[in-house]
Amino acid sequence: MRPRTLVIGDIHGGLKALKQVLERAHLTEQDTLIFLGDYVDGWSESAQVIQFLTELDQKQHCVFITGNHDSWCEDWLREGEWDKTWLFHGGASTVDSYTFLSEAQRQEHLNFFERMKLYHVDAQNRLFLHAGFTSMHGPSHEFHSSNFKWDRTLWEMALTMDKHIKKDSKLYPKRLLQFYEIYIGHTPTLNYDMTVPMNGCNVWNVDTGAAFTGSLTIMDVDSKEFWQSDPLPSLYPDEKGRNK
C-alpha cells in the first residue's frame, strides 16, 4: 500500500471513535496523519484523547492543528482558571476528564497543546487548518491569528460560489487561488443535513459532527476515500456530548 496523507476531522473527546476510524482506514506506519483540531470538549474522554495522541505522535508522522476548543483547554491547563463560555460549550466534560491525571501529565498535555500548529501547508500546496482565514494573500498575511480557529467565511464563500465564475475571472476569490486544496473542520456538515465530508470549490470540510449526533471522519486527501466511525451517541450511549 502506498503511503497516504490522511486528514481527521474534529474529535471532541470521542476516543472510541478515533480508534475506530484509524482501524477502519487500515493505518500503516508509512501514513501521515493531519488532525484538524478540536480534540476536546464534548464526550467524556478529552484528556484520554490527548494522551492517546501524544503516544501516537511517538510512532507515527502526525501534524496537529489547534482548534478553538483546544485553545480554551490550553489556557485552562496553563492558568488554572476557566472561561465560563468554554464550560458551556463542552469544557465541563473536559475538566472532568482531567480529574485523575497527575500534575506531570497535565504539564505534558500543555506542552503538547503549545506545540500545535495554526495551519500546515504540504509539498503539494494543500492547506490544512481548523476554520479559515480572511487575507486574500493567504494565512501568512493574516492580521488576526484567531481567524485560523474561528473564521467561517472561507467555508461559506466556497460553499456558495457561483460555479460559472472561472478561476481566471476577476470575480474569483483570491483566497481560493492561493492553494491547490484547503481542508478544514470547525463547521459541522450536520448544519447542512450532511453526514459525510463536503466540498465547495477547492475547500473540503471534514467535520462531520462527531461532537453531536454525527460520526468522526478520516479522509485520504489524494483519493478522497474516507472512513467513518459509528455515530458518537451510539459509542457513548449514557452521555450527551454537545447535544444539549
Structural domain contains residue 140: yes
In tens digits, the chain (244 residues) has pLDDT values of 789 999 999 999 999 999 999 999 999 999 999 999 999 999 999 999 999 999 999 999 999 999 999 999 999 999 998 888 999 999 999 999 999 999 999 999 999 999 999 999 999 999 999 999 999 999 999 999 999 999 999 999 999 998 889 999 999 999 999 999 999 999 999 999 999 999 999 999 999 999 999 999 999 999 999 999 999 999 999 999 999 7
Structural domain contains residue 242: no
Residue 185 and residue 132: Cα distance in Å, rounded?
9
CATH of the domain at 191: 3.60.21.10
Structural domain contains residue 187: yes
Residue pointed to by grid coordinates 488532525: 35
Q: Using CB atoms within 10 A of its CB, is residue 26 exposed (0-12), middle (13-18) or buried (19+)?
A: exposed
Identify the CA nearest to 186 among candidates 41, 32, 61, 87.
41
Query: 212 and 193 in contact (C-beta within 8 Å)?
Result: no
Tally of domains in the chain: 1
Structural domain contains residue 243: no
Q: Around Cβ 68, how many Cβ atoms within 10 Å?
A: 18
Q: How far apart are the first and last CA of the chain?
A: 42
Q: Which residues pair with 34 in a beta bridge?
A: 7, 63
Q: State the residue range of the domain holding 45.
A: 5-235
Structural domain contains residue 240: no
32-35 and 5-8 beta bridge pairing: parallel
Structural domain contains residue 241: no
Structural domain contains residue 184: yes
pTM summary value: 0.97
Structural domain contains residue 192: yes
